[in-house]
C-alpha cells in the first residue's frame, strides 16, 4: 500500500467527528494511513441567525471545501443533506456510505398531550417547520440552531414542548431518547441519513481509496433526491422533502417528494414508482411534475418571502 496519509477534514462537533472516525476506520481496515483534521465552520459559530438567513447553501461545508482546495486536507466527510447539490469546482463526490435511519423524530419532555393542544415546537429547518404547520396549524414553531448537542441542551433549557431532529444524528452519538417519536409522516430532507465523502478531482490515489467505501443503493437513492431538489432550485432553503427507496422484491424505486409553502398551508406532493433501469431521470421528472402542478408559482413566492 502506498505511503500517503489521507488527511480527513471534519467539523469539530461530536457528530461530525463521529462521521470522520467512521470513514477513518473503514479506510484503515483497507490498509490506508489516515489523519483527522478538525476545522470550525461558520455554521457552528454564528448561532443567532436562522440557517437560511446566512445566505449560503452549504454553510457547513464551505470551510472544509476551502481547506481542501488549499491543500490542508485530502477529503471531507459531511452529512449529505448539508451538501449543496452543485459541488465547488475541482471537488467531486468520492463515496456515499450506506444510509442510516432516514426519518425525523420528535424529542419531547415525557408526555405528548401537547400534540392535541397548543404547543411550541423547535426546529431550524424550513422543511420541518412547514410540514409541522401543515399537520398542526395551531402550534407555534420557534427557531433552533447549533449542532446536535447544542440543540438538545437548548430544548432542556427552554419551555418548549419538543424539538425535531434527524433520527440518524442522535442515534450515531447515542443521544436518542427512548421515548422519541418517529415522524413517519414527515418527508425527510434529500439525502437525510447518508454520509458523503468528497475529494479533489485530480487526486487519483485518494479517490481510488475512498471509492471502495461507496454503497451503490444509497448513492442512487440520494442522487434521485438531490436531483429533485436541484430541479426545484431548492438549495438549502425552500421547504422541500424527498425520499427514494429501493424495493428489492419488485426491483423498483419508490419516490416521494413534497414542496410546501413556508407557512405549511400549501402542499404539493408526488408519489411515484419506477423500474430501477429508469432511475437516472426520476428526480428530474418528479420535480417537473411538481413545478407544472403549481410548484413554479410556489417557488417564486418562497424566494420572494426569503428575500424580505
Active-site positions? 82
Q: Where are the beta strands (DSSP E) in 158-194?
A: 162-166, 181-182
CB neighbours of residue 61 within 10 Å: 25
Per-residue cell: 18:
463521529
Cβ proximity of 18 and 172 under 8 Å = yes
**Rg of the chain, C-alpha, whole Å:** 19
Strands (E), the chain: 5-10, 33-38, 75-79, 91-96, 104-108, 120-122, 140-142, 162-166, 181-182, 195-200, 240-247, 252-260, 267-275
> Residue 288 is placed in which grid cell?
417537473
Let me know: does 283 contact 226? Beta carbons within 8 Å.
Answer: yes
Amino acid at each position: 500500500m502506498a505511503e500517503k496519509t489521507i488527511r480527513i477534514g471534519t467539523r469539530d462537533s461530536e457528530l461530525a467527528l463521529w462521521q470522520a472516525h467512521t470513514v477513518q476506520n473503514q479506510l484503515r481496515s483497507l490498509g490506508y494511513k489516515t489523519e483527522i483534521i478538525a476545522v470550525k465552520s461558520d455554521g457552528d459559530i454564528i448561532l443567532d441567525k436562522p440557517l437560511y438567513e446566512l445566505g449560503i447553501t452549504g454553510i457547513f461545508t464551505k470551510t472544509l471545501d476551502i481547506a481542501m482546495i488549499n491543500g490542508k486536507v485530502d477529503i471531507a466527510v459531511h452529512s449529505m443533506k448539508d451538501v449543496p447539490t452543485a459541488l465547488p469546482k475541482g471537488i467531486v463526490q468520492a463515496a456515499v456510505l450506506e444510509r442510516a435511519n432516514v426519518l425525523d423524530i420528535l424529542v419531547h419532555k415525557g408526555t405528548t398531550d401537547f400534540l392535541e393542544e397548543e404547543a411550541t415546537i423547535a426546529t431550524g429547518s424550513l422543511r420541518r417547520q412547514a410540514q409541522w404547520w401543515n399537520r398542526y396549524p395551531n402550534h407555534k414553531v420557534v427557531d433552533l440552531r447549533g449542532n446536535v448537542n447544542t440543540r438538545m441542551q437548548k430544548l432542556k433549557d427552554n419551555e418548549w414542548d419538543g424539538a425535531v431532529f434527524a433520527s440518524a444524528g442522535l442515534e450515531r452519538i447515542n443521544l436518542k431518547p427512548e421515548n422519541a417519536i418517529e415522524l413517519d409522516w414527515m418527508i425527510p430532507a434529500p439525502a437525510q441519513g447518508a454520509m458523503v465523502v468528497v475529494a479533489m478531482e485530480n487526486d487519483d490515489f485518494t479517490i481510488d481509496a475512498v471509492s471502495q467505501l461507496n454503497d451503490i443503493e444509497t448513492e442512487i437513492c440520494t442522487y434521485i433526491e438531490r436531483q429533485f431538489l436541484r430541479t426545484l432550485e431548492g438549495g438549502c432553503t425552500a421547504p422541500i422533502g424527498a425520499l427514494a427507496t429501493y424495493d428489492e422484491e419488485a426491483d423498483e424505486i419508490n419516490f416521494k417528494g413534497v414542496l410546501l409553502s413556508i407557512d405549511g398551508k400549501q402542499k404539493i406532493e408526488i408519489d411515484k414508482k419506477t423500474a430501477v433501469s429508469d432511475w437516472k431521470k426520476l428526480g428530474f421528472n418528479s420535480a417537473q411534475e411538481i413545478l407544472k402542478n403549481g410548484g413554479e408559482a410556489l417557488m417564486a413566492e418562497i424566494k420572494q418571502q426569503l428575500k424580505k
